[in-house]
Amino acid sequence: MSHTHSSPAGLPDTKMTDETTPLVRTVVVRRRAPAHNVCSRFVYIAFMSICIFILLTFFVGVFVDVPNRYHWPPHRGGHGHRVLFGGNPPGIDHDLLRRILDETPDAALAEEWSRYYTAGPHLAGQNRSQAEWTKEKWEEWGVKSDIVSYDVYLNYPREHSLRLLSKKNSSSSSSSSSAKGDWKVEFVAALEEDVLDGDGTSGLKDRVPTFHGYAASGNVTGSFVFVNYGTYQDYEDLRKANISLEGRIAIARYGGIFRGLKVKRAQELGAVGVLLYSDPGDDGEYTEENGYEQYPKGPARHPTSVQRGSVEFLSTLPGDPYVYPPMDYHSSDI
Could you tell me the CATH number of the domain that includes residue 229? Answer: 3.50.30.30
What is the pLDDT at residue 71?
41
Beta strands 82-83 and 163-167: pairing type? Answer: unpaired
Domain termination site, one of 55, 83, 103: 103
Domain boundary among 68, 103, 138: 103
pLDDT at 157: 86
Number of structural domains (the chain) is 2
Look at residue 115 and tell me if it is in a domain. Answer: no
Using alpha carbons only, how large is the chain's radius of gyration in Å?
A: 42
Measuring CA to CA, how many Å separate 71 from each of 82, 91, 103? 11, 14, 18
Report the pLDDT value the prediction gives residue 318, as an integer from 0 to 100. Answer: 79
pTM for the predicted model, two decimal places = 0.62
Of the candidates 121, 151, 144, 150, the one whose C-alpha atom is nearest the C-alpha of residue 129 is 121
Q: Measured between alpha carbons, how far is 154 from 211 in angstroms, rounded to an integer? A: 12
pLDDT on residue 78 = 41
Please enumerate in sequence order all residues whose Cβ is within 8 A of that of 136, keeping only pairs 6 or more positions apart, or say none. Answer: none
Residue 39 lies in a domain: no
**Full residue range of the structural domain in which residue 55 is found:** 44-103
Task: Give pLDDT, residue 147.
Answer: 93
DSSP state of 195: P
Please say which residue of 73, 103, 133 terminates a domain.
Answer: 103
DSSP classification of residue 99: H
Which H or E run contains 163? Answer: strand 163-167
What pLDDT is attached to residue 38? 62
In whole angstroms, give the CA distance from residue 5 to residue 15. Answer: 9
Per-residue pLDDT of the chain (334 residues; tens, 9 = 90+): 444 444 444 444 444 444 443 444 444 445 555 555 666 777 678 778 887 878 777 666 655 544 444 344 444 444 444 444 445 556 678 888 888 888 888 889 899 999 999 888 888 888 899 999 999 999 998 899 999 988 888 888 888 999 999 988 755 444 444 556 688 999 999 999 999 998 888 888 888 889 999 998 999 999 999 999 999 999 999 999 999 999 999 999 999 999 999 999 999 999 999 999 999 999 999 999 999 999 999 999 999 999 989 999 888 877 777 766 555 444 333 3
Asked whether 253 and 228 are in contact (CB, 8 A), the reply is yes
Cα–Cα distance measured from residue 224 to residue 244, given in angstroms and rounded to the nearest whole number: 10
Q: 319 in a domain, yes or no? A: yes
- The CA distance from 286 to 302, in Å, is 11
Q: Is residue 154, in this structure, part of any structural domain at all? A: no
Q: Does residue 94 lie in a domain region? A: yes
The pLDDT value recorded for residue 37 is 63
Whether 3 is in a domain gets the answer: no
Beta strand pairing call for 163-167 and 309-310 = unpaired
> Nearest 10 degrees: CA dihedral of 235, 241, 246, 248?
-80
87 within domain boundaries: yes
